[in-house]
Amino acid sequence: MRTNVLLWSLILALEIMGQQSGFQRQPLLTALRSELECLEKDELLWRVRTLQTPSAPHAIVDGKKVLVLCSNNYLGLANHPKLKQAAIAATKKYGAGSGSVRVIAGTMSIHRKLEQALARFKHSEASITFQSGFATNAGTIPALVDEHDLIISDELNHGSIIDGCRLTRAERRVYKHRDVSDLEKQFQNTDQYRRVLVITDGVFSMDGDIAPLEDIVKTIQDHGAILYVDDAHGDGVLGKNGRGISNHFNVEGQVDIEMGTFSKAFGCVGGYVAGSRDLCFYLQNKVRSYLLSGSQPPMVVGACLAAVQLVEKQPGLVKRLWDNTGYFKKGLRSLGFDTGNSETPITPVITGDSKKARTLADELFKEKVFVLPIVYPMVAKDKARVRTIVTSAHTCRDLDTALSAFEKAGRAQQLI
Ligand SMILES: Cc1ncc(COP(=O)(O)O)c(C=O)c1O
């Protein structure tokens, strides 16, 4: 009897709470429209421009001939004749589609060749490829940890890492950006966890700064933790012949999971993990985005393979990328722009306010320079910026043209 009274009181209390805090339901389109209006008011809407020609330093964008300074095509490979030929040859040999997921009937000999070439390039025992870098992070992280484990993640890690972490049931802790002493602090009270997985971007995609990998390796070794590095912006950029961040810091073999993408310096699309044979075999059996989604089509795999071979054989591409990076960064800084802590070809021009970032990008587009404003939620609300990325395909003349346009637009907006 007493239990019944308690139960009814509880139900009544819940009903009252429900009525008090209940949502006023709106038709979906009304709700979406009002959300879009909020985004527009805060200058946070994406206005997507369209390329009518290949991704290259000079392109036609929204009908206008412009200098492109915002692609991830670091080595200018996206429109390289060798990659295009390889894509055509792979299509002729294997067809347009792979026909299946990798584990059923979607592994072709060309997928194997790419994995072997990539393992050679990364100096790892093996590699495994995925449909995209996003699918790699979203699938691999949950395959490695569960409710018995802890993830410790840099606060500025890429969204695909964040989503990968959210898909696990592991505990999560976040350490201050690139701060190894704060990382060290996160190891307090961790005895109860079966595994501790530390995850960091190699090069941070919005700021262009580099993770202090040598110190991170030492910290994880001291604590018997596991290290996962996202080298999306390090491949083709850092290390000898663009081998990536582990090569750059001379810690090859000490990063347990090296993840990367073919969508940036390699000029194509796709993701990968490089590591031990056992790790790759395990991931082949456990990663849901690998097991449950169609494999990369042959044309993409053929182009990725040609890209890896080309980067390996032509160190001049990486050297030119760095020469251009040094020249352009110095130019922006000497004009007085705030370029943050960038150490790589990703150079932000920080405006703080999102409206200012938009206006700067619009003014530059009028000057025939294509850059994009990067605003919240990709960066903090007060850290809006225009992000520039030079490539090895830009000429000195291109960079001078861009610097003049930045000077004009920057002065007009009183940024310099
Ligand atoms: C650091 C980082 N990781 C992962 C990804 C996802 O790679 P993909 O474009 O291959 O999906 C990106 C791409 O934006 C990235 O910048």
CATH of 58-73+315-412, one of 3.40.50.2000, 3.90.1150.10, 2.102.10.10, 3.90.550.10: 3.90.1150.10
CA separation for the pair 196, 149 (Å, rounded): 6
pLDDT surpasses 70 at 78: yes
With a 6 A CB cut-off, is 363 part of the ligand 1 pocket? no
What is the reported pLDDT for 22? 80
Contact between 104 and 323 (Cβ < 8 Å) = no
Q: Which tens digits make up the pLDDT trace of 191-222?
A: 999 999 999 999 999 999 999 999 999 999 99
With a 6 A CB cut-off, is 267 part of the ligand 1 pocket? no
Mean pLDDT of the 139-156 span? 98
pLDDT band at 44 (very low <50, low <70, confident <90, very high): confident
Q: pTM (2 decimals)?
A: 0.92
Residue 46: half-sphere exposure toward Cβ, Cα within 13 Å: 7
**Alpha helix stretches (DSSP H) within 223-353:** 245-248, 277-286, 288-291, 298-313, 315-335
Which residue lies with its CA nearest to atom 4 of ligand 1? 133
Spacing, Cα 260 to ligand 1 middle (Å): 8
Spacing, Cα 231 to ligand 1 middle (Å): 9
With a 6 A CB cut-off, is 342 part of the ligand 1 pocket? no
pLDDT band at 366 (very low <50, low <70, confident <90, very high): very high
With a 6 A CB cut-off, is 205 part of the ligand 1 pocket? yes
In the chain, what percentage of residues exceed pLDDT 90?
A: 88
Kindly list the catalytic residues: 205, 233, 264
Q: Which of 134, 140, 210, 289 for mutating ligand 1's site (highest number of atoms within 8 Å of CB)? A: 134
With a 6 A CB cut-off, is 289 part of the ligand 1 pocket? no
What is the reported pLDDT for 45? 85
Q: Pick the closest to residue 347 from 376, 390, 381, 377 (CA basis).
A: 390
Q: Which of 200, 204, 205, 209 for mutating ligand 1's site (highest number of atoms within 8 Å of CB)? A: 205
Flag the least confident range among 14-18, 264-268, 326-330, 342-346: 14-18
Distance from the Cα of residue 165 to its chain's centroid: 15
pLDDT surpasses 90 at 181: yes
Flag the least confident range among 10-24, 70-84, 375-389: 10-24
With a 6 A CB cut-off, is 387 part of the ligand 1 pocket? no
Spacing, Cα 141 to ligand 1 middle (Å): 14
- Give me the architecture of the 81-313 domain, per CATH: 3-Layer(aba) Sandwich (3.40)
Spacing, Cα 68 to ligand 1 middle (Å): 20
Whole-angstrom CA distances from 27 to 24, 32, 33, 75 are 10, 9, 10, 47
- Tell me if domain 58-73+315-412 and domain 81-313 are identical in fold: no
Per the DSSP assignment, residues forming a β-bridge with 373 are 386
With a 6 A CB cut-off, is 306 part of the ligand 1 pocket? no
Domain spans, the chain: 58-73+315-412, 81-313
